[in-house]
Chains A and B, each alone.
Chain A
Amino acid sequence: MKEETRPCVIPGCFSARRHDDLKEMLDSNKDSLKLEAMKRIVAMIARGKNASDLFPAVVKNVACKNIEVKKLVYVYLVRYAEEQQDLALLSISTFQRGLKVQLISISAFFVKVSTVLKVKKQSYRFIFSHNKTSSFDFSLDPEQKDQLIEVIEKLLADKTTLVAGSVVMAFEEVCPERIDLIHKNYRKLCNLLIDVEEWGQVVIINMLTRYARTQFLNPNINETDSSFLFPCMRLFKSHSIALWFLSELFRAVSLPIEQSHDAALIYTAIRKILICCLTHVHVSCFSEVQYVVLQNVATMTIKRRGMFEPYLKSFYIRSTDPTQIKILKLEVLTNLANETNISTILREFQTYIKSMDKDFVAATIQAIGRCATNIGEVRDTCLNGLVQLLSNRDELVVAESVVVIKKLLQMQPEKHSDIIKHMAKLTDNIQVPMARASILWLIGEYCEHVPKIAPDVLRKMAKSFTNEEDIVKLQIINLAAKLYLTNSKQTKLLTQYVLNLAKYDQNYDIRDRARFIRQLIVPTEKSGALSKYAKKLFLALKPAPVLESPFKDRDHFQLGSLSHLLNAKAGGYQELPDWPEAAPDPSVRNVEVPEWTKCSSREKRKEKKVEKPFYSDSEGESGATESADSGNFSEEEVRKPERKSKQSKSDSESESESESESESSESESEDSEDSEAELKKKKKVVSGGGGSFSVMTWRPALKSYELLHRITGEGLSVEYCFSRQPFIPDANMVAVQVHFTNNSTSDTKSLHMEDVKLQSGMRVKEFPEIELLPAGETATAVMGIDFCDSTQTANFQLCTHTRKFFVSIQPPVGELMRPFFMTENEFKKEQGQLMGMNEITEKLTLDVKCRNEHAIVQKVTTAANLSRVPCGSDKECRFAGRTVTSSSLVLVTVATKDQGAAQLTVNCEKMVIGTMLVKDILLALTQ
């Protein structure tokens, strides 16, 4: 092939004769010749040459038996079908025959060709038959749009990951305004996200972000259905490409996060984004990608300095970085500078100044200038440093320093007349126009501070006026004018001379300026009223410049987009819609299970599992990631962030949030800052915006217990409840939320714990001291207790500034565990290993009120902090958890029979816990 394609490179080789050759070859009987011809033709197309006149000859071969020829014919058709529609239509029937052969690669080509031909109908049918979308032609006629939307709607309902990416893409292109199509699929897409190929993920997340913006309330003000954050965060574990959308995710969450009710979640998300960013900063394999990432980081650092601050060192510059990267890193470092770290950063900058890369050195000097303006404390240090640079051997460095010093001096000129003097001397040496201009401006502006030197400088400048660059000339005129106004005795003649020189300058700007200034400052009869104000005009106090990050105005572009990179709106840029004022009806996202089973043949396979939550696909042996992941996720979603604080009127339908297992492991690493955030969000009253699910796990309102009655407590009443949150400082502790109310008329001060008496092995993490609890106010604190998986009491003294009260906390057995997610198979396997002594079974008759599944789930989860295990039968409810201290499994099964009879089985390694749990659950179910 090598030899044959080469001749094509010769210019002008596509003469008519040459094409005749090809035609002949195509008409021949030999496949090898045909193949050869096709290869040449494709090579021509590939180079952008026109091969359309061969169309009839090529299209004849569509029926060719040789698969390779056929493939190339299709490649050709995809390219030219649109130009020669009529001819191409002739070949359709051949394609359709080809379809029957079930050759996927060929039929995929067929789809392409037919979409190009806009023979839409066939392509739809095909797409359905194969469940693999290839492409749509989006340049469609309006009348076909409805049809297409219909198809997209059907395809959106498809559950396969392969389709999801393409179809969302199609949705975005064809009908992005039909957001209503997404409602039913929102949760499913969230689940599938992780398994979609990486390119598709980007599109889906883009779409979901937009969706979130239109459908959920601002998380800043209200709670949100941020369930799509979960899969997004998991993405960080699998693809580096995930970074792309971090942008949008970030935007979605870049709000005063402390106030948000999903604070912990968002914290985790942001941390992940950070870490991901940093990896890209560190591992600089593709500098273009690094470039984009750093641009985004630079924008983010402006608004959220605190987030990146701990990672300051990651942005230290290495001499091997390309210049652009260096400058971006510098930008980030400058944005991160504050009072505490400025000394380190300045030291680092000093190293950079010695670099060989001149552009970078200049940028560094500017960065120093910016640090100096932003952080008042170091202004003098920076200025001194910059003045030292004035004696540098490199002219560029000096020039850049001059420019920066000029800006700095403008802030407080009085103190620095010696620096101005020093700079005046520099005019003899520095040749860089910008620097000269800056010095002249400085001297002119502050000529009162250097009354002796200024006229002399003007004298020197007048001498060299004709040889100066334009910007310098303008400044000389400026200087002359200013001196004329302040010190006309000495400089009158000089000024006249300069203005005369300028009058005949080549540059019209300079001539113009000279004329204007002469009129303004030299009083004549003709000169108007303005000349009286000349002094005010020239010597007005000028505001100091604000040195800003060039990234300051970038944050209104979507991070990661081309527009952001260019800092200009690229074509088709769409602003993210604002959060809606009122939440649209959340129930639109609810999914009726049976509806799904009808959708396509693929679903039918799964029909037997209807009882399970829709998202949890089969966890079979074939268990690809799809099943495993969505299984877990469904659980996360079912126990979705919704929390009722105990003050809120808790109706039976309220859900209370419980951090999912996967989350807890992550948030453990979070600093204690989080616990405060947690606290805050507990105070929030939450509306049921998250919607309901086909299968619900009810989270009961937290039951609170009395720790101190207001009468014994002399006005101070204390209640506690088990918040069922992971206790962040120590995973082995049960979080106890303590709620103080000061009913007395005087303030209570320094509320804290003392003298903790515990059984051996138990540990307590005290709540931080509450310094002041004003009369009538309430406060909440969280403490952690490691009960060692027993219901022993924790005794301690609760102290105020005046009194001490002996109090004790005893946990119900159900609070000694935390939910643990497992699949049905895992459940059965584990249950099999906890037989005999570890299994306790009780028969019971269910209370009339709790004979349905909902009620059972609700009762059991109220009694014990367990999570529901998806289950194939509606006769059984299963729950799983682990004890907090020793992580022993706790498995609960409630099997219902006729007439309210039921059997309760508890499997637990810890027999004591098992026995007590059986009692508690029994009580809950029978009353």
Chain B
Amino acid sequence: MSASAIFVLDLKGKVLICRNYKGDVDMAEIDHFIPLLMQQEEEGMICPVITRGTVHFMWIKHSNLYLVATTNKNSNASLVYSFLYKLVEVFTEYFKELEEESIQDNFVVVYELLDELMDFGFPQTTDSKILQEYITQEGTKLEVTKTKVPTTVTNAVSWRSEGIKYKKNEVFIDVIESINVLVNANGSVMSSDIVGSIKLKTMLSGMPELRLGLNDRVLFSLTGRDKGKTVMMEDVKFHQCVRLSRFDSDRTISFIPPDGESELMSYRINTHVKPLIWIESVIEKFSHSRVEIMVKAKGQFKKQSVANNVEIRVPVPSDADSPKFKTSTGSAKYVPEKDLVLWTIKSFPGGKEFLMRAHFGLPSVEKDELEGKPPITVKFEIPYFTVSGIQVRYMKIIEKSGYQALPWVRYITQSGDYQLRTNA
């Protein structure tokens, strides 16, 4: 069905750990992996699946490791990749960092995990929260729960164990939106969309029943209310705890939350958004002498909001030298290894406009190769604000014991893939 064996290799291709699940592929085949990969690298066309004879290697790279799944069957490709990424996720949860050293130091646990995550080439329970209940790093812990079956595996509510207790019952809700924008050289927005997620940090006792209210347009039109701003969400995805049937019938989001941190839902909104930080740039290149760059950044959001840690990256020719900067605010820095100017503004209030001028010298000898025109990219973070206007209207928390619990909501807007193409 999916993988025959899973390998974790170091950068040189030495097998750090492996687990053979089906035994239908010779374990020695892995020795061919790195040479084949090298060959592809030389040819400049790296492909996530490498084939040698009847054996296929599907691989991903994570820090200084290769995770490789071998198969000789027609497996479901995206399943294998997702599983490999899931492996990374689980290992990271266990060892904080997944790298060569952490594998070396935790052979036994890694092997046990590999054993548990997949059976006969088929993925099993991969929720690291559940796994952590019965595959522990210290054997002593197990003694305590010796006679208890991990209920979460067989429970109806598999994502939350019973008997959780907190002194103070609180829920923290983070609404995080990242905005992807692509702007053409002539200043028109080519594509823009918002990818949002609602994250929870639950610190609640018992088995609470939560209900989340959003200003969802479909919900408002269902109930006939249309006051205030509503949001039309596309491609909504929920954590498994959310009752989808309720959402289907009356758009209420009700669930028993997992303990601790989790992502409750994610959504995508495909609308025309005004780029929050607008960049106008003039890059004048005088061959053989100099480049002059003028960048104007404008905050196109509410005056009350402030964008933090704004980073504007302006590309410069790779052979530029002797940088000189002038900025109306923040500081500019030349990053020669990436061929760009990095203009950082710690806080950027809405409606304001800032200016940066840069001057570079160019060598008198011009190089033959024509350079491309990389876009200007922008990074920022605007707290207490969402581009889409999504709002948490309420969060109802009901538990048998009837305790009072406090929901805390935080909004934040970030830049995702925010690119503005340049003319120069």
Looking at the complex, which of A14-22, A316-324, A587-595, A855-863 is the stretch in contact with chain B?
A316-324
Q: Which of A1, A313, A564, A632 contacts B248 (CB 8 A)?
A: A632
B71 touches A562 (CB 8 A): yes
A571 at the interface (CB under 8 A from B): yes
Q: Which of A234-285 contact B (CB under 8 A)?
A: 234, 236-241, 243-244, 275-276, 278-279, 282-284
Q: A142 within 8 Å of B by Cβ? A: no
**B49 → chain A closest CB, angstroms:** 6
Is residue B245 contacting chain A, with contact meaning CB distance below 8 A? yes
CB distance from B131 to the nearest CB of A (A): 11
In the assembled complex, the CB of B240 is this many whole angstroms from the nearest CB of chain A, namely 6
Chain B residues in 8 Å Cβ range of A566: 49, 51, 56
- Judge if A297 is at the interface, Cβ distance under 8 Å: no
Q: Residues 227-246 of chain B: 1 if any A CB is under 8 Å from the residue's CB, otherwise 0?
A: 00000001111111111111
Residues of B within 8 A of A287 (CB): 48
A588 → B minimal CB distance (Å): 27
State how many angstroms separate the Cβ of A138 from the closest Cβ of chain B.
7
Q: Does A610 contact B (CB under 8 A)?
A: no
Q: Are A275 and B75 in contact (CB under 8 A)?
A: no
Residue of A203, A237, A239, A351 touching B122 (CB-CB under 8 A):
A203
Beta-carbon contacts of B180-193 to A below 8 Å, as 1s and 0s? 10101100001101
Residues of A within 8 A of B182 (CB): 316, 318
Contact A2-B249, Cβ < 8 Å, known A46-B17, A105-B150, A202-B76? no
Q: Does A343 contact B (CB under 8 A)?
A: no
Q: List B8-67 residues whose CB lies under 8 Å from chain A.
A: 15-19, 27, 44-49, 51, 54, 56, 58, 60
Complex CA–CA separation, A199 to B124 (angstroms):
7
Binds A, one of B141-149, B295-303, B342-350: B141-149
CB distance from A284 to the nearest CB of B (A): 8
Chain A positions 563-583 with a Cβ under 8 Å from a chain B Cβ:
563-566, 568-574
Which listed residue (B45, B75, B419) contacts A561, Cβ 8 A?
B75
B246 (CB) vs chain A CBs: closest residue = A628
Interface 9-mer from A355-363, A757-765, A789-797: A355-363
Q: Once bound together, how far apart are the Cα atoms of A356 and B372, in whole Å?
A: 4
Say whether A662 contacts B85, CB under 8 Å.
Answer: no
The answer to whether A172 and B1 have CB atoms under 8 Å apart is yes
Give residues of chain B (99-133) contacting chain A, Cβ–Cβ below 8 Å. 104-105, 107-108, 110-112, 115, 119-120, 122-126
From A172, A351, A662, A886, B249 is in contact (CB under 8 Å) with: A662
Q: Classify the secondary structure of A's interface with B.
A: helix
- Chain B: residues with Cβ within 8 Å of the partner, total of 106
The answer to the question of A286 belonging to the interface, with a C-beta cut-off of 8 Å to chain B, is yes
Name the A residues within 8 Å of B180 (CB-CB).
282
Binds A, one of B218-226, B386-394, B407-415: B218-226
- Tell whether B307 is near chain A: CB-to-CB under 8 Å: no
- The answer to the question of B373 belonging to the interface, with a C-beta cut-off of 8 Å to chain A, is yes
- A103 and B112 in contact, given A67-B142, A319-B374, A821-B249 (Cβ under 8 angstroms): no
Chain B residue numbers with a CB within 8 Å of A624 are 156-157, 256
User: Does the CB pair B105–A237 fall under 8 Å?
Assistant: no
Give 1 or 0 for each of B395-424: 1 = CB within 8 Å of chain A CB: 000000000000000000000010101000
**Provided the pairs A278-B235, A288-B81 are in contact, do residues A393 and B373 lie with their beta carbons within 8 angstroms?**
no
Q: How far is A626 from B240 in the complex, measured between Cα atoms in Å? A: 11
A58→B11 CA distance, assembly (Å): 34
B249 lies within 8 A of A319 (CB): no
- Residue from the list A43, A288, A324 in contact with B107, Cβ < 8 A: A43
Cβ-defined contact, B111 with A134, below 8 A: no
Is the CB–CB distance between B123 and A199 below 8 Å? yes
* A318 to B81 Cα, complex, angstroms: 23
Closest to A311 in B: B270
CA distance A511 to B235 in the complex (A): 63
B contact residues around A6 at 8 Å (CB): 104
Question: Distance in Å from the Cβ of B264 to the closest Cβ of chain A?
Answer: 12
* A561-B149 Cα distance, complex, nearest whole Å: 37
Known interface pairs A43-B107, A288-B81. Does A573 touch B74 (Cβ–Cβ under 8 Å)?
A: yes
Partner of A629, one of B18, B244, B256: B244
With a cutoff of 8 Å between Cβ atoms, the chain B residues found around residue A887 in the complex are 222-224
B371 contacts the other chain (Cβ, under 8 Å)?
Answer: yes
Q: Does A431 contact B (CB under 8 A)?
A: no
A918 at the interface (CB under 8 A from B): no
- Interchain CB contact (< 8 A) of A236 among B47, B153, B235: B235
**Which of B71, B80, B268, B372 lies at the interface centre, i.e. has the most chain A CB atoms within 10 A of its CB?**
B372
Contacts of A633 in B (CB 8 A): 245
Q: Is B337 an interface residue (CB 8 A)?
A: no
The listed residue with most B CB atoms (<10 A of its CB), out of A288, A313, A357, A731, is A288
Chain A residue with minimal CB distance to B133? Answer: A105
* C-alpha spacing A715/B51, complex, angstroms: 72
B375 contacts A319, C-beta separation under 8 Å: yes
Known: A46-B107, A316-B182. A288 touches B60 (CB 8 A): yes
> In the complex where A105-B150, A282-B193, A289-B85 touch, is A571 in contact with B74 (Cβ < 8 A)?
yes
Asked whether B164 is an interface residue with its Cβ less than 8 Å from the other chain, the reply is: no
B73 on the A face (CB < 8 A): yes
| Least distance between B318 CB and chain A CB atoms (Å) | 10
Which A residues, 709 to 748, have Cβ-Cβ distances below 8 Å to chain B? 731
A105-B150, A237-B244, A289-B78 known; A355 vs B372 contact (CB < 8 Å): yes
CB distance B249 to A286 under 8 Å?
no
Q: A394-B370, A571-B73 are in contact. Are A625 and B243 (CB under 8 A)?
A: yes
Q: What chain B residues lie within 8 Å of A138 (beta carbons)?
A: 120
A48 pairs with B18, CB closer than 8 A: yes
> Once the chains bind, are A632 and B249 in contact (CB under 8 Å)?
yes
* Interface pair A574/B74, CB less than 8 Å apart: yes
Residues of A within 8 A of B153 (CB): 104, 132, 162
Once bound together, how far apart are the Cα atoms of A137 and B120, in whole Å? 8
Contact of B364 with A by CB under 8 A:
no
B161 contacts partner chain A, Cβ-Cβ < 8 Å: no
Q: Tell whether A572 pairs with B45 under 8 Å between CB atoms, given A46-B18, A199-B122, A318-B419.
A: no
Knowing A237-B247, A282-B195, A573-B74 are in contact, say whether A359-B44 is a contact too (CB < 8 A): yes
Contacts A238-B238, A319-B419, A570-B74 known; A286 to B79 CB distance under 8 Å?
no
Is B72 close to A, CB under 8 A?
A: yes
Nearest-neighbour CB distance to chain B for A103, whole angstroms, equals 7
* Interface flag for B335 (CB, 8 Å): no
Asked if A560 is at the interface of the complex by the 8 Å CB criterion, the answer is yes
* Bitwise interface map of A from 72 to 109 toward B, beta carbon under 8 Å scored 1, else 0: 10010010000000000000000000000111110000
Q: Using known A-B contacts A46-B18, A394-B370, determine if residue A5 contacts B104 with beta carbons closer than 8 Å.
A: yes
Query: CA–CA, A101 to B47, complex, Å?
Result: 50
User: How far is B185's CA from A651's CA once the two chains are assembled, in angstroms?
Assistant: 66
A9 vs B10: C-alpha distance when bound (angstroms): 14
| Residue pair B149, A104 in contact (C-beta under 8 Å) | yes
Contact of B154 with A132 in the complex, beta carbons under 8 Å: yes
CB A117 to nearest CB in B, in angstroms, measures: 15
For the complex, give the distance between the alpha carbons of A588 and B85 in Å.
41
Would you call B304 an interface residue if the criterion is a C-beta within 8 Å of the partner chain's C-beta atoms?
no
Which residue in chain B gives the minimum CB-CB distance to A169?
Answer: B122
Give 1 or 0 for each of A609-647: 1 = CB within 8 Å of chain B CB: 000000000000011111011011100000000000000
Which of B126, B142, B143 counts the most A-chain CB atoms under 10 A from its CB?
Answer: B142
- Within 8 Å CB of A293, what residues of B? 78
Chain B residues with Cβ below 8 Å from A320 are 377, 417, 419
**What's the Cα separation between A477 and B11 when bound, in Å?**
49
Question: Binary interface profile of A, 191-227, with partner B (CB < 8 Å = 1, else 0)?
Answer: 0001001010011001000000000000000000000
Shortest distance from the beta carbon of A115 to any chain B beta carbon, whole Å: 9
A354 interface residue (CB < 8 Å to B): yes
Q: What distance in Å separates the Cβ of A132 from its nearest Cβ neighbour in chain B?
A: 6
Beyond A169-B1, A292-B77, A561-B76, is A283–B195 a contact (Cβ under 8 Å)? yes
Return 10 A-B CB contacts under 8 Å, by A number: A39-B108, A46-B110, A67-B142, A71-B142, A203-B122, A241-B78, A320-B417, A323-B44, A625-B245, A665-B251
Q: Which 3 residue pairs spanning A and B have beta carbons closest together?
A: A356-B372, A68-B139, A632-B245
